[in-house]
Amino acid sequence: MSADLVSVPLYRLGHGRSGDKGDISNLSLIAWDPECYAVLAAQVSEDRVAAWFASRHPRRVIRYLLPSLHAMNFVLENALDGGVNDALNLDAHGKSLSFRLLDMTVQVSPALAARLPDIPGDRPAAA
């Protein structure tokens, strides 16, 4: 990490939506603006998302970029313990996985970090 950059969670750069169908989780990441989207597109790759959700054991992660919407969509195959009807755990839905994704961090300039919205009570960005 460059000394000129700070680490911030994705929820400061955008918001997410998620859903599921069978054993597939669908995660959308929508940037607040074009500058935030550029950071997300550069740093939130298929490999990083697969590693972030390694405990869910996705067979494959596919990223779809939607630049005109400043958004991207991730499809995580075989990430829901067989899906709602097959899983032994009580909550195999993919609905809450977008919140997990939003905890991933990216590196941004101090100027960008200073203007990003924050959640009250959240820790300040690292210097």
pLDDT in tens, 2-55: 569 999 999 999 999 887 777 788 899 999 999 999 999 999 999 999 999 898
Q: What is the pLDDT of residue 80?
A: 72
pTM for this predicted structure = 0.81
In the chain, the percentage of residues whose pLDDT exceeds 70 is: 79
Q: What is the pLDDT of residue 127?
A: 44
Give the chain as a DSSP string.
Answer: --TT-EEEEGGGTEEEEEEEETTEEEEEEEESSHHHHHHHHHH--HHHHHHHTGGG--SEEEEEEEGGGTEEEEEEET-STT-TTT-SSS---STTHHHHHTT-EEEE-HHHHHHS---TTPPPPP-
In the chain, the percentage of residues whose pLDDT exceeds 90 is: 57
Average pLDDT for residues 66-74, to the nearest whole number?
97
> Does 83 score more than 80 pLDDT?
no
> Does 122 score more than 60 pLDDT?
no
Average pLDDT for residues 86-98, to the nearest whole number?
58
Cα dist from 39 to 35, 91, 108, whole Å: 7, 32, 7
Kindly list the domain boundaries of the chain, sorted by start residue. 6-114
